Structure 1
Amino acid sequence: MTGRHRRPPGPLRPEHAAALLYAVGSGRPVVEEGVVVFPGSTIPYAYRTVHQPDGRCDRYVVRLDPPPPEVPF
């Protein structure tokens, strides 16, 4: 049973299923990395998904902020 603030896992997309099956079959973690812009947003996010050989999936998402403006001398 899920906790009060947890969502049940959604359906596994085919590209994630392939990486997960490869991780389980090879016995080594499989890492997917990239940059995504979510629908309705203009802010890019870097993501890393690590599929573990035991079937777990760890996902990390970090907002990519633009660099600060340069200060004229």
Structure 2
Amino acid sequence: MTGRHRRPPQAPPPELAAALRHAAGTGRPVVEEGVVVFDGSTVPYAYRSVYGPDGRCERHLERLDPPPPPLPP
């Protein structure tokens, strides 16, 4: 019986499940990389997700700061 404050485990999102299945089927990690801008923001972030064949998922997120303004001549 589940405790009062415990939630039943939820199924992973379809894209995560597909990457985990592919990693488990091939025995090699699957790497996803890209740039994302979250809703209500103008700041871009670079992300990298590594899905391991053992079911692990490591995610890294890094803010991409704009380059500094050019120096005046």
**TM norm. shorter chain > 0.5:** yes
Query: Structure 2: 5+ residue runs without aligned partners?
Result: 1-8
Identity %: 68
Query: Structure 1: 5+ residue runs without aligned partners?
Result: 1-8
Flag the structure with larger Rg: 2
Say what the alpha-carbon RMSD is for the aligned residues. Answer: 1.5
- 1:72 alignment partner in structure 2: 72
Residues 1-73 of structure 1 aligned to structure 2 (within 5 Å)? 11-73=11-73
C-alpha distance in 1, partners of 2:70/2:31?
35
C-alpha distance in 2, partners of 1:21/1:11?
13
C-alpha distance in 1, partners of 2:52/2:41?
30
